[in-house]
Amino acid sequence: MPYEIYSLIILLATILFSFSVHEMAHAWVANRLGDPTAKTEGRISLNPLAHWDPIGTTLLVVLIILRTLGLSVPVFGWGKPVPINPRHFKDFKKHLLLSSLAGPISNLLIAIIFAMLIRFLIPSSSIFFEIILQIVFINVSLAVFNLIPMPPLDGAEILRSILPDATYEKIEANSYFFIFAVIALIMFFPQILSSIISAIVNIIV
């Protein structure tokens, strides 16, 4: 099997695992904080199909394939949003913040674990070095992109948890314009997001 195909298979398997961990982390933390909604819908699972978003996840996989083929494209995407019922949270703002942060933090932890392999076990001359470096890059990308304050990303829920309700409602009322602006920024100025991601990768690697 050619190295490129082997690398692509590993990366796709990694991305499916990584975004499944991301969404499962949201569901697990929400359940621990008193909201069993996601649990009852089977979201505390590592099965990628339980978290597959027709747009966000498909886009993520396609971009990974294009990047593996040598195209310089930004890597971003998202899983199916985890359902939250605020009536089950004792402290809605605090618990929404914690459950929203769980996904990005889980990806950063995966990135750090693989970065430790590069630091201490796998030399740069190894054929696995570039693959593991891509795994780190993908997980940092997932964490950073999902922190953008744009629905349906985690950043929007984080913003909701820290802003007064009236302020957030005003922002939400203009969410379509904001979504268009963020997507345009990513598509036409991908170096901004890439620079942030690369800086974090360099720190942990």
Per-position pLDDT tens, the chain of length 205:
566 677 778 878 888 899 899 999 999 999 999 999 999 999 999 999 999 989 888 988 888 788 777 777 766 777 888 898 888 999 999 999 999 999 999 999 999 999 999 888 888 888 788 888 888 988 998 899 889 888 778 998 999 999 998 888 887 777 777 777 777 777 777 778 888 888 999 999 8
Check the CA dihedral 195-197-199-202 and report its sign. negative
Q: CA 160, 78, 103, 120: dihedral to nearest 10 degrees?
A: -140
- Distance (Å, whole) CA 54 – CA 56: 6
- Domain range summary for the chain, segments of one domain joined by +: 3-204
User: Which among 23, 41, 169, 172 is annotated as catalytic?
Assistant: 23
Task: Reply yes or no on whether 157 is catalytic.
Answer: no
List helix spans (H) across the chain: 3-32, 37-40, 56-68, 92-120, 129-146, 154-162, 165-173, 175-188, 190-204
Hey, how many other C-beta atoms are within 10 angstroms of the C-beta on 152?
Answer: 15
Residues 6+ apart with CB under 8 A from 74: 63, 141, 186, 187, 190, 193, 194
Q: What is the CA radius of gyration of the chain?
A: 17
